[in-house]
Structure 1
């Protein structure tokens, strides 16, 4: 079969690898050059296209199966609607109108459509009850995925995924540092997210249906955090009750809803269709992250055997005690109202989007947005505090700074940092110019900012 994956990113590349290993021809569609490079690295045929543009989609080859895994790339409701609803409808119409339309069209959705169920069980028969604008958009997209495909004569399927984790997306540091809010974690490892979708397609399952894709255990988050701490040999993290979150006046209503949303998702249907999990629970899935944490703490080599960069004679990497591929995750910090007000005073940026709660209630986001420059400053401070190797002589500059999604008052951010390049330098008191790749994530593990800082290191 020929399979086209629209929005072939973190999940799509894993799915493509598995489908390719099963003998299928897989085309991965992305818009950005970096995204296309990742598709090629996964061994798939890469095609550049904007999935919301019918003209672009016309250049994508015909397929037997189409998987729509596009992401909005932003917390902006308008961007979410464009990607999840308008783009999805465009893709169905474009492929459905071809002389050789696909047999199946699978849409990747989210368990977020259930809203808050106060920790009760939900399954495919449980009606969605979205509470936020983003959740309502996801629920609308699910209806489009089933109704518009039927109108086009294509069998649609909705795969309703829990939180995807795996390589580069473990949240170990967040759990270890806390505070951990009471509730349940509905998750699925990337390998199983891709494996379950492959199983639905290869096994000819769930035509015209919704299937929940989560692992066997919606684990208690606080108990899981304590287990992680035990496995890592660190103290148990601080906890926070749901009542404390509700009573926290520093949090917006939207922030409270995100923290308090709680349900337990059942995978009985997926299990009944014969799927066997590689990682039945997060305990098995987090084992590589735990081992990497222990190795890093015990002074092990986190470089996976890659040779250090050299600049003639002694290794530059040895002189600064850094190697390409070294990575770390910073502590987390909550953006408070005081942070935003003080930054407005220091910077002179009193845009109402940052400081006027009443006016922003009727604006696009529905609440105040923290200054992008404030979040950048917080991220650089967290990175400075987390560094344990390499003596920074000077901050040399920053490349490719992007504000990917809004950060609201009450959001908690942390940074994931990877050393990407090390070059020798003649700068005074410095041994190397070091480039890093930084992803800043919020409490929902959504990327809100990316940038590449350069530092002179002695």
Structure 2
């Protein structure tokens, strides 16, 4: 009999992983709306109605699954991920606890590394409220895993992209960027590669492990937008000094543009043993450039 996997947050990345997961797992997914449930049934998934913001609706999840894939975002305020905390509280009430936990976190928990190359041993210093909540989720899962003696894999992902997950509106609007000499660095991960990483992580045995779930090439933010602009056949965005640009964009936009870090993904390759289909966004642009030009024209 197949083991049972519970997916909480069955969005784009989890759905991309479903074909591979369904070969080895009986899949349950927490859903809020009937339309979502109907779609998942067509994919061979058994939907369970519930709401992470309603503790009572989560009680039925206890004892159902052998593993948990959690990709849901935190609540939108505060310093704690109360949604995840409610779920873990419900799961802990059963005699049978999921033996493997997979969580998609964010590389934002590292905060601003001023462009340094960082690996998973670096201390997390989140600066934004959303990254603080993500780190709280990691801490909650770590405590749960230690308490119950189960395996936990945390995938710290940077900017997730795909042909339908690109900042084309910003490219078309030529929103300002930082001058090259002062620019921030970041990594990326294609949604398909992140989905495959979830599949590989579910095969992992062991206690608690964190992975930088990113591609192989850190890139200046402005270079990424320039690549997209060139592929789409539109003019590149203007560049400004950090001080000038901060006064031109929202606080949320600045939080994305200002933090600079380059992620070392050596552990990912060494321990999960997965070859990325898209090791750099340059490979993606080279393969999909024609489709990008068409996509931006219909906007």
TM-score w.r.t. the length of structure 1 is 0.58
Structure 1 residue aligned with 2:283: 284
Aligned equivalents of 2:168 and 2:289: distance in 1? 8
Q: 1:2 aligns with which of 4, 7, 14?
A: 4
Task: Tell me, yes or no, if structure 1 residue 174 matches structure 2 residue 170.
Answer: yes
Aligned equivalents of 1:29 and 1:288: distance in 2? 35
- Unpaired segments ≥5 residues, structure 2: none
Q: 1:276 to 1:94 in 2, by over 3 A?
A: same
Task: Tell me, yes or no, if structure 1 residue 227 matches structure 2 residue 227.
Answer: yes
Higher helix proportion, which one? 2
What is the RMSD computed on CA atoms of the aligned residues? 2.6
Decide whether the 8 Å contact of 1:17 with 1:44 is kept in 2. no
Q: 1:230 to 1:133 in 2, by over 3 A?
A: closer
Decide whether the 8 Å contact of 2:109 with 2:134 is kept in 1. yes
Alignment of structure 1 residues 39-54 onto 2, 5 Å: 39-54=40-55
Aligned equivalents of 1:236 and 1:44: distance in 2? 43
Which secondary structure state, in structure 2, belongs to the residue aligned with residue 159 of structure 1?
A: strand
Structure 2 residue aligned with 1:153: 149
Q: 1:102 to 1:216 in 2, by over 3 A?
A: same
Structure 2 residue aligned with 1:268: 266
Structure 2 residue aligned with 1:242: 242
Structure 2 residue aligned with 1:218: 218
- Unpaired segments ≥5 residues, structure 1: 299-327, 330-458
Structure 2 residue aligned with 1:64: 66
Aligned equivalents of 1:33 and 1:151: distance in 2? 35
Q: 1:293 to 1:130 in 2, by over 3 A?
A: closer
- Which has the larger Rg? 1
Q: Offset of 1:261 from its aligned partner?
A: 1.1
Alignment of structure 1 residues 29-428 onto 2, 5 Å: 29-60=30-61, 62-72=64-74, 76-78=76-78, 81=80, 85-175=81-171, 177-181=174-178, 182-202=183-203, 204-205=204-205, 207-246=207-246, 248=247, 256-273=254-271, 274-286=273-285, 290-295=289-294, 328-329=298-299
Q: Offset of 1:189 from its aligned partner?
A: 0.9
Aligned equivalents of 1:26 and 1:286: distance in 2? 34
Q: 1:206 to 1:221 in 2, by over 3 A?
A: farther
* Structure 1 segments of 4+ aligned residues over 6 angstroms from their partners: none
Q: Offset of 1:206 from its aligned partner?
A: 5.6
Matched positions, count = 290
Aligned equivalents of 2:225 and 2:232: distance in 1? 10
Q: Offset of 1:251 from its aligned partner?
A: 5.2
Q: 1:111 to 1:99 in 2, by over 3 A?
A: same
1:351-378 deviation line (CA, Å, top 9, x unaligned): xxxxxxxxxxxxxxxxxxxxxxxxxxxx
Bigger Cα displacement from structure 2, 125-134 vs 48-57: 48-57
Instruction: Specify which structure has the bigger relative contact order, considering alpha-carbon pairs within 8 angstroms and separated by 6 or more residues.
Output: 2
